[in-house]
Homo-oligomer: A and B are copies of this chain.
Amino acid sequence: MVPCSVVGTTKGRRPKKQSYHHGDLARALVGAALELIETRGPEAFTLREAAASVGVTHGAAYRHFEDKTALLAAVSQEGYRVLAARLGDVASKTKGSSHERVRALAAAYLDFALEHPAQYRVMWGPRLNEDGRFPSLEAAIQDAFDVVVGVMKRGQDEGVFRKQPEARELAIGMWVTAHGYVELVARRRIKVKSRRVAVEYFETLFEPFLDGLERR
């Protein structure tokens, strides 16, 4: 048995003299990027500033990320990872009807997006995944999406939701809807006072769409 923590603290093998290099510079850079992006906005984000904020020369970043885009991809991926986890939680833990589950899923999606608006913008903004770079980012997106598909499928299996179109397409419909709504709220085209109100308004606005899920 090895009595050491799984997550990298410097408890065990301590740095030789207070060495210049980080425990996990890659992770530190992603964290710094996340913070800078959320405070200053994605377009003001700078590789150099991120490096400086973790106490390292900007050139050092290139030992861990191919370029600035790769670092942004990591930020995006981290976002989808958290999102997938939250959606998964809601999907498995929500008791009640499939309708309520879909509603809770949408609410969780909106919550995440409105809590981390700048990160959400990175997740959609620059065309990171053109030409299939970053397959792990692609996988993280898929994971999040699959949760939605699963909930739709369950609704169909229970005979509550219509079976045409397929679960995958119902999920796309919900995704389109939730994302579009987030964008309009973020750009203040839809004005709401709080996140709670944003979610409530979403539900009333899309009552007809939710009804459309019903079996005919």
Contacts and interface: CB of A to CB of B under 8 A. Distances in A.
Interface in A173-216: 173, 175-181, 183-184, 187-190, 204-209, 211-213
A95 interface: no
Interface stretch (A23-31, A78-86, A124-132): A124-132
A41 B130 CA distance: 12
B172 A184 contact: yes
A169 interface: yes
Interface size on A, as a range, is 35 or more
A199 to B, nearest CB: 14
Contacts of A145: 189
A165 interface: yes
B212 A165 contact: no
Nearest to A162: B208
Interface string A76-113: 00000000000000000000000000000000000000
Query: Which 4 pairs of residues, A with B, have the shortest CB-CB distance?
Result: A208-B212, A180-B180, A176-B180, A179-B180
